[in-house]
Amino acid sequence: MPNTSLRGWGRTAPTRAHVVPVRSAADVTAALASAGPRGVIARGLGRSYGDPAQNAGGTVLDMTGLDRIHSVDADSGRVVVDAGVSLDTLMRAALPFGLWLPVLPGTRQVTVGGAIGADIHGKAHHVVGSFGNHVESLDLVTADGRAHTLTPSDDLFWATVGGMGLTGIVVRAVLVLHHVETAYFTVDTEQIDNLDELMARQSVDDEKYAETVSWFDAVTTGDHAGRGLLMRANHATLDELPPKLRAHPLRFDAPQLLTVPDVFPPGLLNRFTGKLFSELWYRKSPTKLGAIQNITQFLHPLDVLGEWNRGYGPRGFLQYQFVVPLERGDVVRGVLDRMHAAGQVSALNVLKRFGEGNRAPLSFPRPGWTLCVDIPVNDGLGPLCDELDELVLDAGGRHYLAKESRTTPEAIRRGYPRLDEWRKVRDAADPTGVFTSDMSRRLELTS
Amino acid sequence: MIDAVGNPQSVLVMGGTSEIGLAVVEAFASDRPLRVVLAARKSDRLDAARARLEALGCAVETVEFDATAPETHTEVVRTAFAGGDIDVALVAFGLLGDNEVAWTDVDAAVELAQVNYTAAVSVGVALGKRMTEQGHGAIVALSSVAGERARRSNFVYGSTKAGMDAFYSGLTEALRPAGVHVTVVRPGFVHTRMTEGMSPAPLSTTPEAVAAIVVDAVRNRRELVWAPGPLRFVMSALRHVPRPLFRRLPV
């Protein structure tokens, strides 16, 4: 009997499922044995925006209890962790050893299993690739209840990386972390007047920085349309730290100031507040080179506000993220123009240049521009997004499944030409279709 | 699945030739083609409905459905769900009947009661069960303002809609813990085949206008809507008018 309502971080499209907490690989095997006809999917911390960790009428395994860090090897950087460990927890454990997670997305509240399933990326993608590139091996419980240790030489490993949990349940992984001297960044921030300049500027000197991202304003129009902040950083060395930070250079410096209460009315984010926010965000950081910043300041400014997704009110919001080839940077402008013409407001827009992709058939990153916008759900958003899909797909681009919540099966087939190759590997591992999710039904990822 | 912006992928119409039902499907399909299941008796009108939706790019299946045979309804609903999850189910069948015949002829009265009330209940039970199993979905029940306060001119119809309305209002609460959303729609006078030749009441509306209200209700998860909206205020006033006065009103 379905008994728990689940929804994604975008707070849209809730469905109900039977949620089973698991604390061991044996629990996973037992849950698979007793699964009903509507199948099973794993869920971590629920930070995917849409519905990949929901399974209406079926079973959802709550992986957050499978949370042990088994070992940290300071010399090799190798860590052995359970799938339910969050990146936040892992960072806190690894930093004292001078180890840094090479791939960090916009939040640290993601489990290792979820990071593998979505093959997440961060601001360092152009240098280090995505999460799957740093997994040395993973333990996967397949539909028959057996655990397999997979390495990058296995096709099933790459089908699992980016496979949105549909190949089996990842229970443990061996990751290889990077060595750092400090937990701080030296950050170069440039305030740039418009989108064309921003993209031109972001295209040079990329290789000099470990992390690059730009935030820009999509509300302002005219000559200053797309004005923004280009932020690029390297890990600070011990010598670069000011004396007061030098005493504890590996301190996990990530403050959270307040939690957003769940009281926002619909329509809070509108043209006016969007403009105000964009103005403040732009003004807060004038051009400055070589600033020392902590993890929150540089990587996760939104983590300062816990539960910030509540700010979008009861109908929730969606994140629209796509990648287009580098030579099609014009699509970024096209998307913003269409959004503007349709009167849709996105207060925070993130632009990034991806480096090389990896072998995983459903991995999102590929060389190109990736744009991410937040839009509150309102009438007219559906048709607008369908139009944006056409722009993106016609340019040879695709959508990020971890943030997807409304596109069509056809759009995914076009964006991921290796879908059938992935399905073949998946179907061999799960011939009776035990693993399924609201997303896999909605996008017809599995048959 | 219903997606983040409220687009369903599949819609079932119980009463597959209903003009309001088809207008709702068309309204959803104008954003994106759907898989549609039309449950109705075989007829030329059903074939025409299928052709109309296929022209919009919808994939249409039909299921044989007889509202006067409640013992078959579980099986009808099972068949309708055989091709996959149903995201939105519309309960859109009903008879208006001739009030003067209906309150003086047992067979005519019973037929109205069976189609509008008994069948609506048996279909509602079957839909509720299937949607509870699938863990998601929306049921839209087309009630009527006529059920809000029975009038001399159509009280037999009104009484069946009052019962149907009460059932689905209760079902809204009963299915809520199962993640299944039920919307009761109370249209006023709608220009359709059913009301052809009748003189329209004030605030009369069209199937397309009702459909727009239904689509909005599903997207915003509303539980009770009126079509058109201002009827809510008119009816809440009429509900409290004393009988001797109500009798004299031209309604």
**Residue B23 C-alpha, separation from nearest chain A C-alpha, in angstroms:** 19
Q: Are the CB atoms for B61 and B36 separated by under 8 Å?
A: yes
Mean pLDDT value of segment B138-162: 95
Name the one residue in this structure whose structure tokens are 């201002």.
Answer: B230
- Out of B4, B32, B134, the one facing A377 most closely (by C-beta) is B4
Please state, in angstroms and rounded to a whole number, the distance separating the CA atoms of residues A423 and A433: 11
Q: Which of A40, A51, A410 to mutate to test the interface with B (most CBs of B within 10 A)?
A: A51
Please state, in angstroms and rounded to a whole number, the distance separating the CA atoms of residues B153 and B189: 14
Please state, in angstroms and rounded to a whole number, the distance separating the CA atoms of residues B35 and B59: 5
Q: Are the CB atoms for A121 and A130 separated by under 8 Å?
A: yes
Residues 6+ apart with CB under 8 A from B235: B145, B148, B149, B186, B226
Residue of A nearest to B34 (CA): A408
Cβ contact, residue pair B178, A315, below 8 Å: no
Domain that holds residue A113: 66-180
Q: Is B94 exposed, middle or buried (0-12, 13-18, 19+ CB in 10 A)?
A: buried
Please state, in angstroms and rounded to a whole number, the distance separating the CA atoms of residues B126 and B77: 6
Cβ contact, residue pair A16, B6, below 8 Å: no
Q: Are the CB atoms for A313 and A356 separated by under 8 Å?
A: no
Name the one residue in this structure whose structure tokens are 């305030």.
Answer: A191
Q: How many CB pairs under 8 A join A and B?
A: 80
- Out of B4, B84, B134, the one facing A50 most closely (by C-beta) is B4
Please state, in angstroms and rounded to a whole number, the distance separating the CA atoms of residues A129 and A138: 18
Select which of B157, B167, B189, B226 is catalytic: B157
CA distances in angstroms from A399 to A280, A370, A385, A416, listed in the order given? 29, 9, 11, 9
- Out of A15, A382, A441, the one facing B7 most closely (by C-beta) is A382
- Out of B4, B31, B219, the one facing A405 most closely (by C-beta) is B4
Q: Are the CB atoms for A156 and A167 separated by under 8 Å?
A: yes
Assign domain B10-246 one CATH number from 3.40.50.620, 3.40.50.720, 3.30.390.10, 3.40.50.10420.
Answer: 3.40.50.720
The whole-model pTM stands at: 0.93
Residue A266 CA to its chain's centroid (Å): 25
Please state, in angstroms and rounded to a whole number, the distance separating the CA atoms of residues A185 and B155: 76
Cβ contact, residue pair B4, A12, below 8 Å: yes
Please state, in angstroms and rounded to a whole number, the distance separating the CA atoms of residues A302 and A291: 19
Per-residue pLDDT tens digits for B82-111: 999 999 999 999 999 999 999 999 999 999
Which residues does chain B have within 8 Å of residue A56's beta carbon, measured at their own beta carbons? 1, 85, 134-136, 179
Which residues does chain B have within 8 Å of residue A390's beta carbon, measured at their own beta carbons? none
Cβ contact, residue pair A12, B220, below 8 Å: no
Please state, in angstroms and rounded to a whole number, the distance separating the CA atoms of residues B123 and B39: 11
**Residue A183 C-alpha, separation from nearest chain B C-alpha, in angstroms:** 38
- Longest CA–CA span in chain B (Å) reads 54
Cβ contact, residue pair A13, B179, below 8 Å: no
Which residues does chain A have within 8 Å of residue B134's beta carbon, measured at their own beta carbons? 38, 56-57
Nearest CA to B147 out of B37, B53, B56, B231 is that of B231
pLDDT of residue A287: 86
Please state, in angstroms and rounded to a whole number, the distance separating the CA atoms of residues A369 and A323: 5
- Out of A10, A57, A315, the one facing B135 most closely (by C-beta) is A57
| Residue A411, SS3 per DSSP | helix
Q: Which of B2, B3, B85, B133 to mutate to test the interface with A (most CBs of A within 10 A)?
A: B3
CA distances in angstroms from B47 to A402, B44, B53, B95, B132, listed in the order given? 42, 5, 10, 20, 31
pLDDT of residue B28: 96
Residue of B nearest to A316 (CA): B4
pLDDT of residue B71: 97
CATH of the domain at A152: 3.30.465.10
Nearest CA to B227 out of B205, B251, B208, B201 is that of B205
Q: Is A396 exposed, middle or buried (0-12, 13-18, 19+ CB in 10 A)?
A: middle
Nearest CA to B93 out of B136, B39, B24, B173 is that of B39
Please state, in angstroms and rounded to a whole number, the distance separating the CA atoms of residues A417 and B221: 36
Cβ contact, residue pair B4, A383, below 8 Å: no
pLDDT of residue A2: 64
The amino acid present at B15, given as its one-letter code, is G
What strands lie across the sheet with A147-150, from one edge to the other? A69-72, A78-82, A169-176, A135-141, A147-150
What domain count does chain A have?
1
Residue B181 parent element (H or E): strand B181-187
Give the ipTM of the model, two decimals please.
0.91
Residues 6+ apart with CB under 8 A from B172: B181, B182, B183, B184, B223, B224
- Out of B5, B9, B178, the one facing A382 most closely (by C-beta) is B5
Q: Are the CB atoms for A306 and A350 separated by under 8 Å?
A: no
Which residues does chain A have within 8 Å of residue B132's beta carbon, measured at their own beta carbons? 1-2
Cβ contact, residue pair A57, B32, below 8 Å: no
Question: Catalytic: B117?
Answer: no
Which residues does chain B have within 8 Å of residue A438's beta carbon, measured at their own beta carbons? 1, 136
Please state, in angstroms and rounded to a whole number, the distance separating the CA atoms of residues B14 and B79: 12
Cβ contact, residue pair A2, B220, below 8 Å: no
Give the torsion through C-alpha atoms of B9, B13, B17, B19, to 10 deg.
-80
Which residues does chain A have within 8 Å of residue B133's beta carbon, measured at their own beta carbons? 2, 38, 57
The residue count of chain A comes to 447
Cβ contact, residue pair B31, A382, below 8 Å: yes
pLDDT of residue A283: 76
Write out chain A's pLDDT in tens, 447 residues: 568 999 999 989 999 999 999 999 999 999 999 999 999 999 999 999 999 999 999 999 999 999 999 999 999 999 999 999 999 999 999 999 999 999 999 888 999 999 999 999 999 999 999 999 999 999 999 999 999 999 999 999 999 999 999 999 999 999 999 999 999 999 999 999 999 999 999 999 888 999 999 988 888 878 888 888 999 999 999 999 999 999 999 998 877 655 555 555 555 666 667 777 777 777 777 888 889 999 888 887 765 555 566 666 677 888 999 999 999 999 999 999 999 899 887 877 899 999 999 999 999 999 999 999 988 888 889 999 999 999 999 999 999 999 999 999 999 999 999 999 999 999 999 999 999 999 999 999 997
Q: Kindly report the CA angle at B151 between B146 and B157, in degrees rounded to 5? A: 50
Q: Is B192 exposed, middle or buried (0-12, 13-18, 19+ CB in 10 A)?
A: middle
Cβ contact, residue pair A57, B6, below 8 Å: no
Do β-strands A349-354 and B59-64 pair in parallel, antiparallel, or remain unpaired? unpaired
Which residues does chain B have within 8 Å of residue A408's beta carbon, measured at their own beta carbons? 32
- Out of A15, A379, A442, the one facing B135 most closely (by C-beta) is A15
pLDDT of residue A396: 98
Cβ contact, residue pair A408, B4, below 8 Å: no
Q: Are the CB atoms for A167 and A435 separated by under 8 Å?
A: yes
Cβ contact, residue pair B5, A406, below 8 Å: yes
Nearest CA to B169 out of B111, B121, B237 is that of B121
The amino acid present at A260, given as its one-letter code, is V
DSSP type of residue B152: G
Cβ contact, residue pair B1, A56, below 8 Å: yes
Nearest CA to A45 out of A254, A309, A265, A263 is that of A309
Which residues does chain A have within 8 Å of residue B216's beta carbon, measured at their own beta carbons? 379
Give the HSE-up count for residue A274: Cα atoms under 13 Å, Cβ half-sphere: 23
**Residue A259 C-alpha, separation from nearest chain B C-alpha, in angstroms:** 24
Name the one residue in this structure whose structure tokens are 């020392």.
Answer: A292
The amino acid present at A138, given as its one-letter code, is L
DSSP type of residue A259: E
Residue A371 in any domain: the answer is no
DSSP type of residue B173: H
